[in-house]
Structures are given as structure tokens and as C-alpha cells.
Structure 1
Amino acid sequence: MDLNSDLGEGFGQWQLGDDDALLEVVTSANVACGFHAGDGSIMRRVCERAVLTGVAIGAQVSYRDLAGFGRRFIDMDPAELTDDVLYQLGALDAFARVAGSRVRYVKPHGALYNAIVAHEEQAAAVVRAVVEYDRALPVLGLPGSAWLRRAEEAGLTVVREAFADRAYTPEGTLVPRRQAGAVLHDADEIARRCLAMATGQPVTDVEGSPLRLTPDSICVHGDTPGAVAIARKVQAALTEAGLELAPFAP
């Protein structure tokens, strides 16, 4: 099983999360590429640290929305979205290569991630960017999304993701953050849910019914309060159950 986390999400003097601590726990790092968070110095530092810890570097691409942390939908021209994703891929890949690695996969962030669950034009635009940049790059996303379906149709490798600390609807989509209970905080409960996900057992959806998820990678958010402690609990639960933790894109 792969554990991924959104990292490098500071900007200038503003810091968010403990990247160094999480890089000791996760196996894949979704690194912000400067559009919703991150800057050149942060990208360089996270890439260098990821190489030292053996963590796979992924491009966390988003809308151009620093003020909104990439959590606001932008109704933009698909061609412009393709170009923005290409821009971000190239920027992060430069720092990854200077650090001795490369970008190994792509994961959309925030509002873009949620939009391309159903927004066909934007899903196609992001797929087009990956195909044009490097069709060997796997893409990470929500099972059943237009994003993964279109990526698979384009011949890309798709990786199904589940979220450690997010509540799910009965349809298997994420409960919007603005709703109460959308983000989970109990580390023991989160660890139990992750073990269930990883072993094919059902978890409880927001309405209290069983929901079976079959992820290839589990995301532990870096900006959740107590993120490092939660990630360590999840890591311990999975390894103690005999599961090997390794990046899906080594």
C-alpha cells in the first residue's frame, strides 16, 4: 500500500504542516507546484528531502488560486487549463531533477480534484496535459471519476485513491469540506478506517452505511491538525497488519 500526502504547501514566509516529519512516514509526496501554494525555494527543499528519504515525488497541480488555496472552482477555457497544468509539471520536474529524481505521477488538488470527478471538459484538459508532457506518468484520483476514466481511455496508468481523514457520501465521493463532519480528527478511528480500506473491508459512510473502497494509495492530509501523529498511527496500523508500504510509482 502507498501512503501519500500533500506537501510543500507553504508560500514565502508562511508555513503549513511539517513536511520533514511527514516525509519520514509517507511513501509518495504530492508537492504543490506554485499555483495554490508553494514557491521555488519550497519546491526545491521538499524535492531534496524526498530524495533523501526515498519518497516518490508527484506533481500536485491546481487552479491558479493562491488566495483561495486552490479550493475555489474556476470556470476556465480547457486549453488554458491544459497549459496551466503543463506549466506546473515543468516547474516541479525541474526541481525534482536538480535534486536527483523526477516527477513520477500527477495528482490534482482541491477544487480541481473535485471538479474533474464529473466535469468532462476539465478532466479531458488535465489528461491532455499529462499526455503531452509524459504519457508514462501515472495519475492519482478518485475511483469512478471522469478524470480516471478519461486518463485510462488515453492509455495512462490510473491509481485509485482513498482519503484517511475525510468522510464519504454513500456514492463514494468526498463530503464537501464546508459540511460538518467532513474532516475526521480521531487518530485511532482514522487508523482503523485506513486498515479496513487497505484490506478490502467496508468503512462507514456519512449516513452510517457500509461503503467498500479499494484504493491503491491512501492520502493522509498534511494540513489537518495533528497530521503527523495521524500519519504515524496509520503507518503503524498498516505495517503491524503485515502490509508493506511502498510508492506506487517508484
Structure 2
Amino acid sequence: MRLDINCDMGEGFGRYRLKEDLGILKWITSANIACGFHSGDPHVICTLVEAALRNNVMVGAHPGYPDVQGFGRRSMALSAREVYELVLYQVAALDGITRGLGGKLHHVKLHGALYNEAAERPELAEAVVRAVTDINEELVLYALSGSSLVHVGLEYGLAVAEEVFADRAYLPTGRLAPRELEGSVLISKEEQLAQTSQLVLEQKVRTVDGSTIELVADTLCVHIESPDTLLFLKELHRWAKEHGVSVEPISS
């Protein structure tokens, strides 16, 4: 059994929080690097790409809505064409930077509101997938497990990694519980590890209403802003070794 561990990174500016990001790289296999629209800047992007390459961590583009004030978590009334253009722009930037620094872009994972809306709306999912394929058909698309983005990505022939979350509660529909809902974010390492174990070993998860649904778990997202992220990642590696789970990146 294999598991990719991904983390959203570079979500700051200048020297903000870089030390924390860099310390976590040795414990993950894929880094989703913010492209400058919801967060990030050239210095942060270049520093993280270089560090990821040094640590043999897969480099991914993490595009979002152009919403710095709302951290990309607010919906925007953009057309499918506009979504195509903003994803194309951001992925192209990360692709060019990564190549310029001697590496190769591996994957694309959307951020925040764009991630959730593309999971629900086929027309946005198609816009995203067309942008990714127009940059490079060999890129891996990281998408919410069981979502429209997964189905559209597969229809276009992309390699798709179905993503699950260690620290987010689920609705019975398989979507993430809204952050404004009490209990939507799992705080304790024990809760996160229990959910991870169920997702990875059983390909199932218990939802907010107590029901259990099936989800494919190719890649596990660990959020850097969660409390004690580094400690959780160390526990996760210990758990993986005990359960015969090989921690390794997704093959493109």
C-alpha cells in the first residue's frame, strides 16, 4: 500500500513563515506551492522550489482565486473562460520557475474556494483541466476524492490523484465540511491520525452526521497551519511504517 503526503506551502510573503515551510519538507512527498494570486511571491516561490528539489519532494502548482485579502477562500463570480485563464497563468508561472531552477513541475492542486467549486461544477472543472493539459498533459491533477474534477480530469486523459484530508471533517456527500461549521477542522493529532487510518486502510471516512462513506485515498493533505503539524507528520510516518504503508510520491 502506498501513500503520497502533500502540503500546501508558500502561503506567505517575503520572509514570512518560510522557516516553518522548510522544516516540513523532509516529512512530505509533494509540495503544493502558492502561485502568487491568493498568496506567495517570487522570492517565496523560488526558495521553496529550490528546497523541494533538494529534498526530492515533488513540486506542484497551487493556483487559487486572485483574492489576497480573503486568502482565496471567498467565491468569485468568474466565468469558465476566466477560470481557464487564471489557472493557465499560475501553472505556467510555476512550470517556468521550476524548469528555470533545474526541476520539473509534477502536479497541480487548486486552492480554497476554487478547489471546492471545481469539485462541484463541471464547467469549472473542465476549464481547470483544459488549462492543465494545455500546459503539460503529463502533469498530475490532485483533486478532491470522488469529485467532478476527478471525473473530468480522467476524461481528458490526465493522471489524477484523488485527495483526502487528515484534518478536515466530511459531509455525507463526500465534500469537505464548510469551515464555518463547528467541528469542520480536526484539531488533535489523535483525531487526525484516526481519520487518516480509516481513509488509507479502509478507503472510508466517518462523516459529520455519523454515517460512513467510501473515498479513494491516493494522496493525503496535511495543512501546515494545523496545530503541531510537524509532530503529526512524525507520528504519521511512524504509523505508516507500523501498518506497511509506503510513503512515496504519485507517479506521473
Structure-2-length-normalised TM-score: 0.94
The answer to whether the Cα contact below 8 Å between 1:117 and 1:145 also exists between their aligned partners in 2 is yes
**Partner amino acid, structure 1, of 2:59:** I
State the secondary structure of the residue aligned to 1:59: strand
Question: Structure 1 CA distance, aligned partners of 2:19 and 2:74?
Answer: 21
Match of 1:162 in 2: 164
Is residue 2:194 matched to residue 1:192?
Answer: yes
**Other-structure match for 1:237:** 239
Shift of 1:232: 2.0
The offset of 1:179, in angstroms, is 0.7
Q: Distance in 2 between matches of 1:13 and 1:201?
A: 39
Letter in 2 for 1:89: V
Structure 1: gaps spanning 5 or more residues: none
Deviations along 1:89-108, one digit per CA (max 9) or x if unpaired, are 12112221233212111111
Query: Does residue 49 of structure 1 match 2:51?
Result: yes
Hey, what's the Cα distance between the residues in 2 that align with 1:4 and 1:116?
19
| Separation of aligned partners in 1, 2:204 and 2:69 | 37
CA contact (8 A) 1:3 1:245 kept: yes
Are the equivalent residues in 2 in contact too, given 1:56–1:249 (CA < 8 A)? no
Equivalent residue runs for 1:35-114 within 5 Å? 35-114=37-116
Residue deviations 1:127-185, cap 9 Å, x none? Answer: 11011111111101112212111111111111101000000111211000111100001
1:162-181 alignment runs, 5 A limit: 162-181=164-183
Find the residue that maps to 2:150 and give its secondary structure: helix
- Following superposition, the deviation at residue 13 of structure 1 comes to 4.6
1:74-99 C-alpha deviation (Å, 9 max, x unpaired): 11122222111111112112221233
1:89 and 1:4 map into 2 onto residues whose CA distance is 17
When the two chains are superposed, the root-mean-square deviation of aligned CA atoms in Å is: 1.6
CA distance in 1, matches of 2:88, 2:203: 38
Q: Distance in 2 between matches of 1:88 and 1:153?
A: 23
Q: Look up the match of 1:9.
A: 11
Q: How far is 1:201 from its partner?
A: 5.2
Q: Which amino acid aligns with 2:131?
A: A
Q: In the aligned structure 2, how far is the partner of 1:18 from the partner of 1:166?
A: 21
For residues 237 and 244 of structure 2, the distance between their equivalents in structure 1, rounded to whole angstroms, comes to 11
Q: TM-score, normalised by structure 1?
A: 0.95
* Structure-2 change in CA distance of 1:201 and 1:76 (3 Å): closer
Cα deviation, residue 31, structure 1: 0.6
Q: Which amino acid aligns with 1:96?
A: T
Provide the C-alpha distance between the structure 2 equivalents of 1:247 and 1:168, rounded to a whole number of angstroms.
24
Aligned equivalents of 2:94, 2:27: Cα separation in 1: 22
- Residue 36 of structure 1 and its aligned partner are, at CA, apart by 0.7
Equivalent runs, 1:141-156 vs 2, <5 Å:
141-156=143-158
Q: Kindly tell me the number of residue pairs found equivalent between the two proteins.
A: 250
> For 1:134, which of 111, 133, 136 is the aligned residue?
136
Is the contact between residue 190 and residue 234 of structure 1 (CA under 8 Å) also seen in structure 2? no
Select 2:229's aligned residue among 227, 230, 236.
Answer: 227
